[in-house]
Amino acid sequence: MKAAVRNQLSGKVVDIKMGTVMAQVTVQAGDALVSSVMTRDSLEETGLKVGDQVTALFKAVNVVIAKE
């Protein structure tokens, strides 16, 4: 798949939490964990499962950083 997104992390799906309508997919990318929320329909269409090698693509208008 080709995408015009420069911010990418490769990793492995380590967890999938299913809700009634949505699913949260967690990817281990090096030392970082990245989570994405998608509809259950989208999850089923992609066929993602724990252990799959994936690429997380980031494209956002804003990134907000707050000091704790």
Tell me which of 60 and 43 has the higher pLDDT: 43
Amino acid identity, position 61:
V
Q: What is the 3-state secondary structure (H, E, C) of the chain?
A: CCCCCCEEEEEEEEEEEECCCEEEEEEEECCEEEEEEEEHHHHHHHCCCCCCEEEEEECCCCCCCCCC
**Mean per-residue pLDDT over the chain, rounded:** 88
Tell me which of 40 and 57 has the higher pLDDT: 40
Mean pLDDT, to the nearest integer, of 34-47? 93
pTM, rounded to two decimals: 0.82
Q: Determine the length of the chain.
A: 68
Domain locations in the chain as residue ranges: 10-57
CATH topology of domain 10-57: OB fold (Dihydrolipoamide Acetyltransferase, E2P) (2.40.50)
Mean pLDDT, to the nearest integer, of 7-32? 94
